[in-house]
Chain A
Amino acid sequence: MFKLWATITKDIRVLLRDKVGILLMFIMPVALVIVVTSIQNSTFQLMNKNKLLLLVSNQDTGKLSPQLIQAINNIGMFRVSELPKETDAAAINTKLHAKEAELAIVIPADFSAKVGERAKASANKALKSFGLEGDSVKANLTADNPISMYYNPVLQESLRLSVQGGLRSALQLVESRETLRDLYFSINDKPLPAKLENEMLSSKTVINQIPTTRNGDRLIPNATQHNVPAWTIFAMFFIVMSLGGSVVREKVSGSFIRLKTMPTNYLVGLLSKQIVYLGVTMFQALVIFTIGVWLFPVMGLPALNIPRDVAGLILVTLLTGWCAVSYAICIGVFAKTQEQANGFGAVSIVILAAIGGLMVPSYVVSGPMKALVNFSPLHWCIEAYYGLFLEGGKFTDVVANIIPLIGITLLLQVITVIGLKRKNLI
């Protein structure tokens, strides 16, 4: 026990004197969690408060294109800026390249005419199906000129698809309104009253968003609640840069030669490193969670809500830290140089984070990658954290994620011991 205590003391002293290592372990993840949460929060603000700038070149002179522009405005997602009618595709390209906006649409010159014709045709069909005679106007069903949407290629596909969905719903509204007006006029020989039109076209059904938390809380998840757990795990695993390097440094330095000739098993040294760095990971989590709870609101970001099951949170953090430490030591044992440990360690953590759902949610992963997700320890860590932070669960609710995490940790420990034995280090 005294040997272990002496080794822990030595490791703490060595660690505290490695200023760059400490910077890497604390400052970098803290910066990362602040930056990523701020950015994701800005994305949320963009969609909900700041709105996306949409350039509109309306080449139509009819009455329906202004209605379309009004409908787009009413979606609440866009800030519409109308361009002069003569603005052509080349000019729009130039504007998008100049970053004046990320999106632009061109409403063709025959938009009102075509929509009007189609509405009449639809109204006639409806009247015929009611057994009534409609207007004798024959709808011209030649192909419409499309509404063209120009977008900057940097626009993410998910955002582009949601923009397209918004535009489609605006278009649908204009077309439906026109059909309804035609239909009403054909039957009543007078225009559709505005009040009735509003009642018929505006949706009365409210979409009630309910997060299905285990504890019944109705707190809407936000960027902080998603990002802080994810980047805390990333930070914990990123100690591979310090710990993996430390194991290699000790292995290739003269001190290891002496350690091998001493009447003490090197496993004592590795146990000490596990204890010390487990403490580091716990401290990392404490620092990042504290920042989430106290600093984020000061910075205008949503505050982190700590799960009710604090004991569960500590236990999950402890197991996550243990897995991270085991991974780092395993890398350190097999790497021949510090460069190998740092290079492989950093790249592998980024890959494991990516497939584990820290960067892209694992539920969107499909195909062969779906199977790979389960091999990432970070996946089980994030699932357990989300169970506590987002779903309001208790430790017992995330045991299904903890068991594979412990399994991977034990596997890493076994691989480490095999590596040490093969290299005649124990």
Chain B
Amino acid sequence: MANVTYPAVDITNLSFQYPGNEEPSFTNLNLKIGKGDRFGLFGPNGAGKTTLMNLMTGLLQSNEGSISLSGVKVGQHKYRVNRLFGFVPQDFSFYQELSPKENLEFFGAWYGLNSRKIKQKTDELLQIMGLEDVRDKQVQQFSGGMKRRVNLAIGVIHNPGILFLDEPTVGVDVQTRHAIINYLLELNTNGTTLIYTSHQLNEAEDLCNEVALMDNGKIMAHGPLDTLLHQHKHDNLEELFLNLTGKHFRDDV
């Protein structure tokens, strides 16, 4: 029997409408993200990026269509799917009263790791994230950049095959951004598919090899970054973004 390689994410005819909203967020959306890609999802405020990410991670249930992660349908095999990916939400998603070590111990256990593996990964991640010296201090005393690193460390403690990152570098200094991007590139080199949203388009150029520009629930452009820039005759992602989505303000109410 031949080995079948599934895409990291396969979205087919996806439709979704928030209860109470008059307009659907998506109608018949199709998107494939290849295994090992560094995929960037961009769009103005209210374009539907976070909604799509929440659908991909199972936080929201689609009305129609299907989403599969590595061939496993989201919504049908919740716990099987949840083992496949890590998630780094935009909000700080950990217990501020706990130390980074204690947070990693708890979330590691919830990802199904045993105590030996948790200890090994905790030591490794605290070292990589530069949090060794503060491993036992409560996170609520940390700076924004340190909290971002804790947020990221928790999302990758179980070596996920797919990593969803929602604005992982928002509000951090250049050094922290640099460290985070480098670490994400290293993860990708080791086989982790990155699915990333951000408003930092220059950062996306450093990180992503494949991008999708989204507006009003539709994919306006999708493909390798170089190809898209070439096709649309732009020098950088920001120009392409403004060209496709316009210059008027978008207020996400």
Residue from the list B92, B95, B155 in contact with A10, Cβ < 8 A: B95
Q: Which of A1-42 contact B (CB under 8 A)?
A: 2-3, 5-7, 9-10, 13-14, 17-18
Q: Is A262 in contact with B93, judged by CB distance below 8 angstroms?
A: no
Q: Which of B174-204 contact A (CB under 8 A)?
A: none
Residue from the list A13, A254, A261, A263 in contact with B102, Cβ < 8 A: A13
Residues of B within 8 A of A (CB-CB), count: 33
B82 within 8 A of A: yes
B154 within 8 A of A: yes
A257→B112 CA distance, assembly (Å): 17
The binding surface of chain A is classed by DSSP as helix
B239 within 8 A of A: no
In the complex, the chain B residue whose C-beta lies closest to that of A269 is B110
A258 within 8 A of B: yes
Q: Known pairs A10-B98, A14-B98, A264-B111. 20 more at Cβ < 8 A?
A: A3-B109, A3-B112, A6-B106, A6-B110, A10-B95, A13-B98, A14-B95, A14-B97, A254-B89, A254-B93, A254-B94, A255-B93, A255-B95, A257-B87, A257-B91, A258-B89, A260-B59, A262-B110, A263-B82, A263-B110
Closest chain-A Cβ to B105's Cβ sits at a distance in Å of: 6
B236 within 8 A of A: no
Answer whether A17 and B138 are a contact pair too, CB < 8 Å, given A261-B59, A262-B82, A424-B61: yes
CB-based A-B contact count at 8 angstroms: 81
A276→B85 CA distance, assembly (Å): 30
In the complex, the chain B residue whose C-beta lies closest to that of A15 is B97
Q: Is B58 in contact with A254, judged by CB distance below 8 angstroms?
A: no
Answer whether A9 and B58 are a contact pair too, CB < 8 Å, given A257-B89, A258-B154, A261-B85: no
A259 within 8 A of B: yes
Q: Kindly list chain A residues whose C-beta atoms are within 8 Å of the C-beta of B6.
A: none
Q: Is B92 in contact with A254, judged by CB distance below 8 angstroms?
A: yes
Q: Is A2 in contact with B109, judged by CB distance below 8 angstroms?
A: yes
Answer whether A258 and B138 are a contact pair too, CB < 8 Å, given A2-B114, A14-B98: no
B68 within 8 A of A: no
Answer whether A6 and B109 are a contact pair too, CB < 8 Å, given A255-B94, A262-B82: yes
* 17 A-B residue pairs with CB within 8 Å: A3-B109, A9-B105, A10-B102, A10-B106, A13-B97, A17-B97, A254-B94, A255-B94, A257-B59, A257-B93, A258-B93, A260-B59, A261-B82, A263-B80, A263-B110, A264-B110, A264-B111
Q: Mark A292-322, 1 if CB is under 8 A from B, else 0.
A: 0000000000000000000000000000000
B249 within 8 A of A: no
Q: Which of B75-89 contact A (CB under 8 A)?
A: 78-80, 82-83, 85, 87, 89
In the complex, the chain B residue whose C-beta lies closest to that of A10 is B106
Q: Is A261 in contact with B79, judged by CB distance below 8 angstroms?
A: no
Q: Kindly list chain A residues whose C-beta atoms are within 8 Å of the C-beta of B79.
A: 263-265
In the complex, the chain B residue whose C-beta lies closest to that of A2 is B109
Q: Is B97 in contact with A258, judged by CB distance below 8 angstroms?
A: no
Residue from the list B93, B106, B112 in contact with A263, Cβ < 8 A: B112
B57 within 8 A of A: yes
Q: Kindly list chain A residues whose C-beta atoms are within 8 Å of the C-beta of B83.
A: 263
Closest chain-B Cβ to A212's Cβ sits at a distance in Å of: 51
A14→B61 CA distance, assembly (Å): 31
Q: Kindly list chain A residues whose C-beta atoms are within 8 Å of the C-beta of B108.
A: 6
B127 within 8 A of A: no
Residue from the list A2, A13, A260, A262 in contact with B107, Cβ < 8 A: A262
In the complex, the chain A residue whose C-beta lies closest to that of B118 is A6
B63 within 8 A of A: no
Q: Kindly list chain A residues whose C-beta atoms are within 8 Å of the C-beta of B95.
A: 10, 14, 255
Q: Kindly list chain A residues whose C-beta atoms are within 8 Å of the C-beta of B109.
A: 2-3, 5-7
A17→B115 CA distance, assembly (Å): 24
Instruction: Identify the 5 closest CB pairs spanning chains A and B, nearest first.
Output: A6-B109, A254-B91, A254-B93, A258-B93, A263-B82
Q: Kindly list chain A residues whose C-beta atoms are within 8 Å of the C-beta of B85.
A: 261
Closest chain-A Cβ to B35's Cβ sits at a distance in Å of: 20
Q: Kindly list chain B residues whose C-beta atoms are within 8 Å of the C-beta of A255.
A: 93-95
Closest chain-B Cβ to A129's Cβ sits at a distance in Å of: 87
A261→B102 CA distance, assembly (Å): 19
Q: Kindly list chain A residues whose C-beta atoms are within 8 Å of the C-beta of B111.
A: 262-264
Q: Is A6 in contact with B89, judged by CB distance below 8 angstroms?
A: no
Q: Kindly list chain A residues whose C-beta atoms are within 8 Å of the C-beta of B59.
A: 257, 260-261
Closest chain-B Cβ to A10's Cβ sits at a distance in Å of: 4
A260→B58 CA distance, assembly (Å): 8
Closest chain-B Cβ to A262's Cβ sits at a distance in Å of: 5
Answer whether A258 and B107 are a contact pair too, CB < 8 Å, given A17-B138, A263-B82: yes
Q: Is A258 in contact with B115, judged by CB distance below 8 angstroms?
A: no
Q: Mark B130-162, 1 if CB is under 8 A from A, else 0.
A: 000000001000000000000000110000000
Q: Kindly list chain B residues whose C-beta atoms are within 8 Å of the C-beta of A257.
A: 59, 87, 89, 91, 93
Q: Mark A248-275, 1 if CB is under 8 A from B, else 0.
A: 0000011101111111110010000000
Most chain B CB inside 10 Å of its own CB: which residue of A253, A254, A261: A261
Q: Kindly list chain A residues whose C-beta atoms are within 8 Å of the C-beta of B110.
A: 3, 6-7, 259, 262-264, 268
